[in-house]
Amino acid sequence: MIAIDTSMTVGDLVAENQDRVRVFERYGIDYCCGGKQSLAAACAEAGVDAEDVARALAEADAHAVPGETDWSTAPLAKLVEHIVATHHAYLRRELPRLTGLAAKVFEVHGERHPELGECRDVFAGLRAELEAHMQKEEVILFPMIAQMEATGSAEGVHCGSVRNPIRVMEMEHESAGAALAALRRLTGGYTPPADACNSYRAVLSGLAALEADLHQHIHKENNILFPRAARLEETLAAES
């Protein structure tokens, strides 16, 4: 079993092996927005022992099932297509569904659980931000990356550099992460209360699933797509 280097960043560790996500989720370690932290620093922030986490990661590696695409080497255009078809499509299905469900649950249970009102409002803000965010990626940033890869040239890239829209997207990811943290806090970790009806349980389950998918979504962008696109631009600029 190969030892895990705790000086590696969390994002790089997940980029090497997607199965490590389950370990980070179990220990409450942020591997998407916090992916640039070293494993040692991330464990300290989460209040867990780095050696325990390293052993768990090594165990996950030993039982990894091959088959997941290696996004660290796949063409950038293919990664972009995957993000849009998988994660953007998921959000476009789930955001409207959960909006209606959250409103329904607040209407029925809001008097006994006033925190549901704040939860509904936080989610509404998150939905608006994510929908605008996806539009900017699909119209501006993703075509820019795909064109740069296809033409082998960084010339004609508007915004001055691909790093400029990337910086904006990363800031918006931070905002989305803060909204997810607020939703987790307001719902007690998506735990249904004793009087929860099926709709109440469904909205909590949906929010938990959305959080998990968004973590992987942001990880693929922050820790794989964006750094690779920035390196490609640097390489092409140096060659021109």
Residues 117/110, Cβ–Cβ less than 8 Å: yes
Tens digit of pLDDT for each residue in 77-112?
Answer: 999 999 999 999 999 999 999 999 999 999 999 899
* Integer Cα distance of 130 and 175 in angstroms: 10
Q: Is residue 68 part of a domain?
A: no
Query: What is the number of structural domains in the chain?
Result: 2
* 232 occurs within a structural domain: yes
Task: Based on the fold, state whether residues 14 and 97 are members of the same structural domain.
Answer: no
Residues 151 and 215 in one domain: yes
pLDDT of residue 30: 86
Residue 180 lies in domain: 76-239
Same domain, residue pair 91 and 39? no
Question: 103 and 17 in one domain?
Answer: no
Which positions of the chain have pLDDT values less than 50?
A: 1
Are residues 198 and 87 both part of a single domain? yes
Cα separations (Å) of 113 from 193, 195, 232? 9, 10, 50
Quick one: pLDDT at residue 239?
83
CB neighbour list of residue 219: distance below 8 Å, 6 or more residues apart: 11, 14, 15, 21, 31, 32, 35
Kindly state whether residues 148 and 52 are assigned to the same domain: no
Element (H, E) at 184: helix 163-186
- For residues 144 and 56, membership in a common domain is answered with no
Q: Render pLDDT for 173-185 as a digit per residue (tens, 0 to 9).
A: 999 999 999 999 9
- Could you tell me the pTM of the whole model? 0.85
Q: What is the pLDDT of residue 1?
A: 43
Q: Are residues 82 and 38 in the same domain?
A: no
- pLDDT value of position 16: 82
